[in-house]
Amino acid sequence: MRGNEPVILAIDTSTRLVGLALYDGAKVLAESTWESRDFHTVELAPAVEDMLKRAQLSAADLGAVAVAIGPGSFTGLRIGLALAKGLALALCIPLIGVPTLDIVAAAQPLCDLPLAAVLRAGRGRLATGWYENENNKWKLSAKIQVFTAQTLCEKITSPAVVCGELNAAERQVFFETNPHVIVASPAQSLRRPSILAEIGWQRWQANQVDDPASLSPIYLHYNDPIPES
């Protein structure tokens, strides 16, 4: 038990990359990410319990829950949001929903170039959000779209940064065909739950919290056509 010091739990199940973190406003108390082969249902709750135990905390020590709300996979988002809502309601603590691509973008160093944050969208596609540096923060500047790596590469005609869930073949597309693209390294591109925790903490402190009854995920529409280059 930590006494009266508040702790926020971050939960991200947007894709097969699952992430959890505990954060107290001054430091990251615990953080974990792993690739789940669609076993979110059986892995998530035990992982939260284990993380709390290793941090010498219990559910009663939680002051808020932050959860990634997508875009992402239907099943993954549903499972993560269900656990986050359940904890918030059972413990009577605030719930904060954070768009997943905001988490990807927030981890990147600020610069004056446009930033394309991406995550896996199934069927070889990438959900892509364009961000700009606005008042020293990355701000989403256009509607999220779904592209293949090749189509996204062809759309970039001036210097830009691309970060997020890219496999080796997709990285190679950018490296070989578009000199304008700066591809963030795999370590920089990792969707870190501690970043989600920090964003959630800031919104919690500003009283920008969500209603568990109405908070809903952002789903991708896989059948939408990919925009032409």
Closest to 51 measured CA to CA, from 67, 33, 66, 30: 30
Residue 114 clears pLDDT 50, i.e. is over it: yes
Confidence of residue 221 (pLDDT cuts 50, 70, 90): low
pLDDT in tens, 151-196: 999 999 999 999 999 999 999 999 999 999 999 999 999 999 999 9
Q: How far apart are CA 95 and CA 42, in angstroms?
A: 22
Residue 126 clears pLDDT 90, i.e. is over it: yes
Check residue 40 and give its pLDDT. Answer: 82
Residue 14 near residue 165, CB atoms below 8 Å: no
Residue 215 clears pLDDT 90, i.e. is over it: yes
pLDDT in tens, 36-75: 987 788 899 999 999 999 999 999 999 999 999 999 988 8
Residue 226 clears pLDDT 80, i.e. is over it: no
Residue 27 clears pLDDT 80, i.e. is over it: yes
Residue 9 near residue 22, CB atoms below 8 Å: yes
Whole-Å CA distances, 221 to 68, 123, 146: 18, 12, 9
Check residue 225 and give its pLDDT. Answer: 45
Check residue 2 and give its pLDDT. Answer: 56
H or E element at residue 146:
strand 145-147
Q: How far apart are CA 217 and CA 100, in angstroms?
A: 10
pLDDT in tens, 71-89: 998 889 999 999 999 999 9
Task: Show the domains of the chain with their CATH numbers.
Answer: 7-100+191-205 (3.30.420.40), 108-189 (3.30.420.40)
Closest to 178 measured CA to CA, from 157, 162, 163: 157
The average pLDDT across 132-158 equals: 95
Check residue 37 and give its pLDDT. Answer: 82
Residue whose structure tokens are 């950018």: 174
Residue 179 near residue 94, CB atoms below 8 Å: no
